[in-house]
């Protein structure tokens, strides 16, 4: 049986200085030119890796700006040559200025979901953060979406201890917000990572409807109101009764910092690696290899990804560069 079509997508929002908020993994604000260049490098790596294993999928880059040149490379021409569609999409889902100090443009995922529901470019949407690489094709993810309607990446107490605040809200606070807005009464609800949104059209329409109902409370900063997209998705999934942890076999948030290193042998079996700490390092190296290689296929293997991202451990050259960057941060250079 031929599976219905899938859109594989990622996104980038270009913030102005007035809109900028702090991005901790980049050590600067979202309006900084180098921060924005880092995300374009990630996006290039994302699509290159997906196209290598998902050649039949429709690929869309959502953005509120013009695709730039980065490191001398015309990314608009590159993406177009690869068959990646660039969808211009203004950001409409944004909290009032000053409401949050970090990650201020994350609700853009709901602009993408709204576009998907209104335009219906495919029957499924797999929307990921751009600092991800694909190791395997999406076939198993597609089957899981067909089974569950939407997939959820569960972040448990090993990642965030019980009753702790996660980007400003606890699981208990989200449960109270859910109940206050017509949802079931619960002591707490699971927290699901926002790096993956994977759902079929019908479930996406339900997610969008609930998000639009809750958005006025979110913007008004009601008690326990979500401060980032993962909070709101967690509330919505709880309201819809979406099963927990169904994306966990496919993706993992892999930390490669000196203070938090959680790589494990089983990561080699994943479909997608999410590597937030590699935006300035591993993705930059992979971008250079992709854009400068005569045969791009040599850059798009799990071994190459591991080489650049430090899996299962950093090679000496990467260790030296990462240590140098860490020291520069400490010295404020």
What is the chain's alpha carbon radius of gyration, rounded to the nearest angstrom?
19
- Kindly list the distances between the CA atom of residue 127 and the CA atoms of 32, 81, 104, 141, in Å, as whole numbers in the listed order: 24, 21, 18, 12
The answer to whether the beta carbons of residues 282 and 254 sit under 8 Å apart is no
pLDDT of 329 reads: 74
pLDDT, tens digit, for every residue of 76-90?
999 999 999 999 999
User: Is-contact 130 272, C-beta < 8 A?
Assistant: no
Pick from 28, 214, 19, 198: nearest CA to 105? 19
Give the integer Cα–Cα distance in Å for 319 and 332: 20
**Domain 6-331: CATH superfamily, name plus number:** Spore Coat Polysaccharide Biosynthesis Protein SpsA; Chain A (3.90.550.10)
Output phi, psi for 167, to 5 deg.
Answer: 55, 40
Residues 224 and 174 sit within 8 Å (Cβ to Cβ) = yes
Q: Long-range contacts: 63-69, Cβ < 8 Å, 24+?
A: 63/11, 63/12, 63/13, 63/14, 63/87, 63/88, 63/89, 64/13, 64/14, 64/88, 64/89, 64/90, 64/91, 64/108, 65/12, 65/13, 65/14, 67/40, 68/36, 68/37, 68/40
Residue 303 has pLDDT above 50, yes or no: yes
* 54's tokens: 């998902």
User: What mean pLDDT comes out for the span 37-66?
Assistant: 97
Q: What is the DSSP letter of 12?
A: E
Q: What is the pLDDT of residue 295?
A: 83
Q: Between 4 and 18, name the one with better pLDDT.
A: 18
Give residue limits of the domains in the chain: 6-331
pLDDT in tens, 187-227: 999 999 999 999 999 999 999 999 999 999 999 999 999 99
Give the pLDDT confidence score for residue 58 in this predicted structure.
96
Q: What would the mean pLDDT of 24-40 be, rounded to a whole number? A: 96
Task: Give percent above pLDDT 70 in the chain.
Answer: 98
Q: Which residues contact 262 (CB under 8 A, 6 or more apart)?
A: 254, 255
pLDDT-based confidence at residue 333 (cuts at 50, 70, 90):
low
Kindly state the average pLDDT of the residues 254-280: 97
Tokens matching residue 182: 């017509």
Residue 2 has pLDDT above 50, yes or no: no
Mean pLDDT of 160-182: 97
Interacting residues of 269 by C-beta distance below 8 A, sequence separation 6+: none
Q: What's the pLDDT score for residue 296?
A: 86
Higher pLDDT among residues 132 and 328, named by residue:
132
pTM: 0.96
User: What is the predicted pLDDT for the residue at 1?
Assistant: 36
Mean predicted lDDT score pLDDT of the chain: 95
Residue 322: half-sphere exposure toward Cβ, Cα within 13 Å? 21
Query: Mapping DSSP to helix (H, G, I), strand (E, B) and coil, where does residue 11 land?
Result: strand
Secondary structure element (H or E) that encloses residue 282, with its range = helix 282-292
């Amino acid at each position: 049986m031929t599976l219905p079509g899938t859109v594989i997508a990622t996104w980038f929002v270009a913030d102005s200085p007035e809109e900028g908020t702090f991005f901790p993994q980049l050590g600067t604000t979202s309006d900084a030119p180098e921060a924005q260049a880092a995300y374009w490098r990630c996006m290039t790596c994302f699509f290159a890796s997906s196209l290598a294993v998902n050649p039949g999928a429709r690929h869309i880059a959502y953005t509120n700006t013009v695709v730039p040149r980065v490191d001398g490379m015309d990314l608009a021409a590159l993406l177009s040559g690869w068959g990646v569609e660039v969808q211009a999409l203004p950001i409409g889902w944004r909290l009032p200025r000053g409401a949050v100090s970090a990650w201020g443009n994350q609700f853009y995922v709901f602009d993408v979901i709204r576009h998907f529901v209104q335009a219906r470019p495919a029957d499924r949407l797999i929307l990921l953060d751009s600092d991800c690489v694909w190791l395997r094709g999406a076939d198993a993810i597609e089957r899981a979406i067909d089974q569950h309607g939407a997939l959820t990446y569960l972040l448990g107490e090993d990642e965030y201890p019980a009753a702790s605040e996660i980007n400003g809200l606890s699981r208990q606070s989200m449960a109270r917000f859910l109940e206050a807005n017509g949802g079931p009464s619960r002591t707490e609800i699971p927290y699901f990572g926002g790096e993956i949104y994977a759902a079929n059209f019908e479930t996406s329409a339900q997610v969008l409807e609930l998000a639009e109902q809750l958005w006025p409370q979110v913007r008004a900063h009601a008690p326990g109101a979500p401060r980032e997209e993962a909070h709101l998705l967690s509330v919505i999934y709880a309201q819809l009764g979406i099963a927990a942890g169904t994306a966990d076999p496919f993706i993992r948030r892999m930390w490669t910092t000196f203070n938090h290193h959680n790589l494990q042998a089983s990561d080699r079996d994943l479909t997608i690696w999410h590597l937030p700490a590699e935006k300035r390092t591993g993705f930059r190296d992979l971008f250079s290899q992709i854009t400068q290689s005569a045969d791009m296929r040599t850059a798009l293997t799990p071994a190459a990804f591991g080489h650049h991202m430090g899996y299962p451990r950093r090679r000496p050259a990467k260790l030296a560069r990462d240590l140098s960057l860490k020291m520069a941060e400490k010295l404020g250079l």
